[in-house]
């Protein structure tokens, strides 16, 4: 087989065989196929797309390019949730303990945040002592005994994807649905998921800014999952404005604690109950989505979800007393309000702009090497659709620097106030099951 022939075939819109796709991915991973050929190949896919079969072959070729996590020692169906990135997305912190409390095994491998989106590990490290540096044995034991553990990304998972994603980044080929879908799904499958629930975000803070593109991406991932024997469902959820109120590590841990008790922001709670219901249902812990949802509401109300969160933190070295005393989480030195400059109705809170403001404050990373300040961030006091009076606080800034003029300006630029009444945006647009 010759790479040049395969590029030509794809360039002309023909479907590739499994052997051809394996040849490309293996050759690229071990360095036999150079970047320039892989660039041309990616661009051919960008223009010619891939059939459902080709997408499944590509995904599995990337899964097989490196280590695969074996979770077979863990009892039950391991359901993983993946969100395609967002601002102030506190769902993973809530969903883990929430579904574990009804018996779904949560064996999660997680990463750190980059740019305007936050990472789950960063958020959890706001809890003093908490660590994801645990052995595989301990990870498996904890999930079997307590239904939940989180481990840091380790080993050589999907090296083909790492290399290809970096190449796509500099060759204008990131935004191709077959490439995005196979990239995301390969990582979930290599991490050992039996079933996958996807939260595909749409809107300004999302990877896919428009609904049509988000639907196509969700459909592509669900199709790949089901074609390679992993039950997969997706929802499309709003990321035009940030989710919940809090953006920033400590602030989001506090928000998760509130939500686990049914006292959190309503949009975050609703999204967690919806995603959680699918997880419980796919894990066979309920025979219908309604029953699954009721189980989740019950553990929110009877304290079991919160108790599970405490046990989870303690198991991984964390100081669980923060759950009852959230003021023990890292606190910022300056709390500064951003008052509305006019009466009216909040019509827009541009998620990625707010995420960038939080990042500049120190809550996120501009580059992989940046260090983050766990204490700082933003709390929205108003969301789209709320009415507001001049002088009322729109946002509270939690900062470790007194000088927040730039942040304030950015916040004013990303929030619009209109004279006329505005509806809150739709939170969940659609569900895709096959």
Identify the bridge partners of residue 415 per DSSP, sorted by sequence position.
349
Residue 429, contacted partner among ligand URA, Ca ion, none, CB below 5-8 A by kind? none
Shortest Å distance, C-beta 43 to ligand URA: 15
Shortest Å distance, C-beta 183 to ligand URA: 3
Shortest Å distance, C-beta 138 to Ca ion: 30
Distance (Å, rounded) from C-alpha 144 to C-alpha 179? Answer: 35
Residue 180, contacted partner among Ca ion, ligand URA, none, CB below 5-8 A by kind? ligand URA
| 119 touches Ca ion by CB under 5 A | no
| 178 touches Ca ion by CB under 5 A | no
Location of structure tokens 């699954």: 292
Shortest Å distance, C-beta 58 to ligand URA: 12
Here's the x/- map for Ca ion, 372-391, by CB under 5 A: it reads as: --------------------
Q: What is the DSSP letter of 320?
A: G
Catalytic residue among 81, 112, 147, 187: 187
Distance (Å, rounded) from C-alpha 23 to C-alpha 25? Answer: 6
Residue 146 is a catalytic residue: no
Distance (Å, rounded) from C-alpha 91 to C-alpha 34? Answer: 40
Q: Are 284 and 77 in contact (CB under 8 A)?
A: yes
Residue nearest to Ca ion (CB): 244
User: Considering beta carbons, is residue 225 or 355 the nearer one to Ca ion?
Assistant: 355
| 259 touches Ca ion by CB under 5 A | no
User: Considering beta carbons, is residue 165 or 429 the nearer one to ligand URA?
Assistant: 165
Residue 18 is a catalytic residue: no
Residues that bind ligand URA (CB under 6 A): 165, 174, 179-180, 183-184, 207
Distance (Å, rounded) from C-alpha 370 to C-alpha 384? Answer: 32
Distance (Å, rounded) from C-alpha 83 to C-alpha 237? Answer: 10
Q: What is the DSSP letter of 383?
A: -
| 241 touches Ca ion by CB under 5 A | no
What residues numbered 72-91 form the site for Ca ion, per CB under 5 A?
Answer: 88, 90
Distance (Å, rounded) from C-alpha 54 to C-alpha 58? Answer: 6
Residues 6+ apart with CB under 8 A from 398: 248, 251, 331, 332, 334, 335, 361, 375, 376, 377, 378, 379
CA angle 134, 139, 145 (to 5 degrees): 135
Residue 183 is a catalytic residue: yes
Residue 183, contacted partner among ligand URA, Ca ion, none, CB below 5-8 A by kind? ligand URA
Shortest Å distance, C-beta 101 to ligand URA: 29
Residue 179, contacted partner among ligand URA, Ca ion, none, CB below 5-8 A by kind? ligand URA
Shortest Å distance, C-beta 244 to Ca ion: 3
Q: Are 305 and 329 in contact (CB under 8 A)?
A: no
Q: Where are the alpha helices (DSSP H) in 30-135?
A: 35-48, 52-63, 91-100, 120-124
User: Considering beta carbons, is residue 33 or 179 the nearer one to ligand URA?
Assistant: 179
Segment (H or E) for 380: strand 377-380
Residue 412, contacted partner among Ca ion, ligand URA, none, CB below 5-8 A by kind? none
Catalytic residue among 65, 83, 182, 183: 183
Residue 244, contacted partner among Ca ion, ligand URA, none, CB below 5-8 A by kind? Ca ion
Distance (Å, rounded) from C-alpha 187 to C-alpha 342? Answer: 47
Distance (Å, rounded) from C-alpha 196 to C-alpha 26? Answer: 26
CA dihedral 280, 153, 38, 14 (to 10 degrees): -10
Catalytic residue among 82, 215, 295, 345: 82
Catalytic residue among 10, 81, 112, 168: 168
Applying CB under 5 A, the residues found at the interface with Ca ion are 88, 90, 244, 246
Q: Which positions are catalytic?
A: 82, 161, 168, 183, 187
């Amino acid at each position: 087989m010759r790479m040049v022939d395969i590029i030509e075939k794809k360039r002309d819109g023909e479907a590739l065989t499994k052997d051809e796709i394996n040849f490309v991915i293996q050759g690229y991973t071990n360095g036999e196929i150079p970047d320039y050929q892989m660039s041309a190949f990616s661009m051919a896919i960008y223009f010619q797309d891939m059939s459902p079969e080709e997408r499944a072959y590509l995904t599995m070729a990337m899964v097989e390019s490196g280590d695969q996590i074996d979770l077979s020692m863990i009892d039950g169906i391991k359901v993983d949730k993946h969100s395609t990135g967002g601002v102030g997305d506190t769902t993973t912190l809530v969903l883990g303990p929430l579904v574990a409390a009804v018996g779904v095994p949560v064996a999660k491998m997680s990463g750190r945040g980059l740019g305007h989106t936050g990472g789950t590990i960063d958020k959890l490290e706001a809890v003093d002592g908490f660590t994801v540096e645990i052995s595989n044995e301990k990870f498996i034991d904890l999930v079997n005994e307590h239904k939940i553990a989180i481990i840091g990304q380790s080993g050589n998972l999907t090296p083909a994807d790492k290399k290809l994603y970096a190449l796509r980044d500099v060759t204008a080929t990131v935004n191709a649905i077959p490439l995005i879908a196979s990239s995301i799904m390969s990582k979930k499958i290599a991490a050992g998921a039996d079933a996958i629930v996807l939260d595909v975000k749409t809107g300004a803070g999302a990877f896919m800014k428009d609904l049509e593109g988000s639907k196509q991406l969700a459909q592509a991932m669900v199709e790949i999952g089901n074609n390679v024997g992993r039950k997969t469902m997706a929802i499309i959820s709003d990321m035009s404005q940030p989710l919940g109120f809090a953006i920033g590590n400590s602030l989001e841990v506090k928000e998760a604690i509130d939500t686990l008790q049914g006292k959190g922001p309503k949009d975050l709670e609703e999204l967690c109950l919806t995603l959680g219901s699918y997880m419980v249902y796919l894990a066979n812990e309920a025979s219908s989505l309604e029953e699954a949802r009721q189980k989740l509401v019950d553990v929110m109300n009877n304290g079991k979800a919160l108790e599970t969160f405490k046990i989870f933190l303690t198991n991984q070295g964390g100081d669980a007393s923060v759950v009852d005393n959230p003021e023990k989480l890292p606190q910022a030195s300056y709390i500064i309000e951003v008052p509305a400059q006019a009466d009216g109705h909040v019509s827009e809170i541009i998620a990625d702009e707010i995420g960038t403001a939080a990042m500049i404050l120190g809550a996120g990373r501009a580059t992989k090497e940046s260090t983050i300040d766990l204490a700082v961030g933003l709390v929205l006091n108003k969301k789209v659709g709320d009415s507001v009076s001049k002088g009322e606080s729109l946002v509270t800034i939690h900062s470790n620097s007194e000088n927040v003029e730039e942040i304030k300006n950015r916040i004013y630029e990303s929030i619009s106030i209109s004279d006329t009444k505005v509806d809150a945006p739709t939170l969940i647009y659609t569900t895709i099951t096959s």
